Chain A
């Protein structure tokens, strides 16, 4: 418990601190290796931990007057409210929500067109290839493209910030549990 309080002071805690750091979150992304997602990944977990020596924690700490159990719960609530986490969540949602809407409606449009407009789908394009065949190939292409876009977005915009939050959160929960993690 004591250690938690010490840490609170050290980290200069509070949302202000996280707010300052917000601007940085996009920047370190450029340092991350631009590996091609289709390449063989490197040995397992090797670069999962690249953020280990990350800058000081940016989380608001638990308040002193709470007892340990309540504070362990509190940690997650406070992390959730922190600007750093809101930023990670926002980035995730701003990519995933439009993405899901896009590919699901494109897929449903394809299925509905195949059932209700067979005339259109049977229209020839080149040789034996018709609109329906092109639509299937287009579904494959968009799937591959979205996969690439998602991994790229996650790697450049989310991974580093999420990893920092992970260490900080684990640090905080460990302390509130008196090192019994």
Chain B
């Protein structure tokens, strides 16, 4: 990489940071420090704004960098992510968006705790939300790291570490100063930039192939060295039955995980009504679906134009396929067009990471403050003072979560970003989805069932990851020298998701507590009509 790329990309990125910091200051100028404002931005966003913000929140480095890289390297098998990421939105739309908007206030735990004995349920749901968020953040940090390695031409060392730290510091500033309102606007700006950049690249790519998608696919297949196999499933997840099971496991995690992601759930609290929540989901399905269709084209395009050898040389996991493709489409290294496009894509990728990181950090700091802190010391102080202190805690929780995510991000920097996100989805689907579904739809669900559902999904999911080939026992794992690998699959979803549902059922049928019919009536009526919704 020449110096031109770096300078321009850093300039553009600096521009984005300046604009977003401007938004943050402008938005926080008039803040009153209420919890409502910090967590939900006052619930006054329009469905379209929220739809763009959801898109900005959801399309992470995993999609923009990771998935295109996987498609470029493994062809068709990378498409599974795209399909899973999109179909998951039907679960959100059908079962979650409106109901959660109607009966929650700030977090996932609000929905569950309304029916149950509050303390244990809040602690459980709050903990699992924080864990999911941290895992998700790690993936974004790794994405930031590999992008910088590409930009600065170094694969390791201080520059990468400092970038990860810089991203972390920025997100803390956004979140703790601007709260939900700043985060939302950053996500909207990012979504517009991202969609614009993706459309522009796709147009350039199709122009290069004279609009002939078929020829693009054929070229990609030839250049990959796999021939037609590149366009059919099996390159990455074919072969052994373990690999195939891994594929199915990942597929389940992706489709069920989205509805359990705390930062996605919290976005539905930023609109005034359930109807607006539904419309924001529709907006986001349209935008996200369109984006993923283009991603497929761009992924195959990277294979056809850049070629897998160059991609692997730049980043073994393929995380840099998108910027490399941009460089080539603009006219290659050294040309002005190439420099500009490369810089734009790199800046968009940074913006993507920052916006997602801000959203996830905000959601997890809400869980720390509103669920964990508020439950563990709910006693002294009046209502109002308590709420203010809660917001103060949320602001500092953002710092703590940032530090943890940075540390883990530096540790995991050689893993594919899309794969890491797959893990976060698996944990979300195992720990958060069962308890949410049972609370909304099962009359007989009890406190013990809720607590068991959370831990019964969370602990197996984490445990199985720890025992998986990702962590130890194979050359590509985090700790290649030691071997405590007892679970063959990389993604725990296929085991841990059913365990979460099973544990919730088991906890409920074995508990002595009589389910409170009136509380369930309240949840059901509120969730479907919006009565008493804040």
Contacts and interface: CB of A to CB of B under 8 A. Distances in A.
Contact of B79 (A44, A99, A136, A146): A136
Given A122-B228, A128-B221, A169-B532, A76 B79 contact: no
B327 to A, nearest CB: 25
B272 A166 contact: no
Contacts of B522: 73, 76
Contacts of B273: 45, 48
B531 interface: yes
Contacts of B296: 136
Contacts of B237: 115
Contact of B231 (A44, A48, A133, A147): A133
B272 A44 contact: yes
A23 interface: no
Contacts of B45: 44
Given A43-B46, A128-B214, A38 B286 contact: yes
Contacts of B83: 107, 110, 136, 139-140
Contacts of A130: 228, 231-232
Contact of A111 (B80, B286, B518): B80
A116 B239 CA distance: 10
B interface SS class: helix
Given A38-B282, A45-B276, A139 B529 contact: no
Interface residues of A, number: 59
A48 B276 contact: yes
Interface in A123-155: 126-130, 132-133, 136, 139-140, 143-144, 146-147, 150-151, 154
Interface stretch (A1-9, A11-19, A60-68, A88-96): A88-96
B255 interface: yes
B532 A77 contact: no
A112 B91 CA distance: 19
Contacts of B93: 147, 150
Contacts of B221: 128
Contacts of A129: 214, 217
Interface stretch (B104-112, B244-252, B421-429): B244-252
A115 B231 contact: no
Contacts of B279: 37, 41, 151
B284 to A, nearest CB: 10
Nearest to A41: B47
Contact of B524 (A73, A89, A100, A159): A89
A111 B82 CA distance: 12
**Which applies to chain A's interface (DSSP): helix, strand, loop or mixed?**
helix
Contacts of B255: 104, 107
B282 A37 contact: yes
Nearest to B251: A111
Given A44-B271, A162-B530, A80 B524 contact: yes
Nearest to B516: A73
A77 B518 contact: yes
Interface of A: 37-38, 40-41, 43-45, 48, 73-74, 76-77, 79-80, 85, 88-89, 92, 96, 99-100, 103-104, 107-108, 110-112, 114-116, 118, 121-122, 126-130, 132-133, 136, 139-140, 143-144, 146-147, 150-151, 154, 159, 162-163, 165-166, 169-170, 173
27 contacts: A38-B282, A41-B48, A44-B44, A44-B46, A44-B47, A44-B272, A44-B276, A45-B273, A73-B518, A76-B526, A92-B528, A104-B255, A107-B87, A115-B248, A118-B234, A118-B238, A122-B231, A126-B214, A139-B83, A139-B87, A140-B289, A147-B89, A147-B93, A151-B278, A165-B529, A170-B532, A173-B532
Give 9 nearest A-B pairs by CB, closest first.
A122-B232, A169-B531, A111-B251, A128-B217, A44-B46, A80-B521, A127-B214, A115-B244, A76-B522
Interface of B: 44-48, 76, 79-80, 82-84, 86-87, 89-91, 93-95, 98, 214, 217-218, 221, 228-229, 231-234, 237-238, 244-245, 247-248, 251-252, 255, 271-273, 275-276, 278-279, 282-283, 285-286, 289, 292-293, 296, 517-518, 521-522, 524-526, 528-533
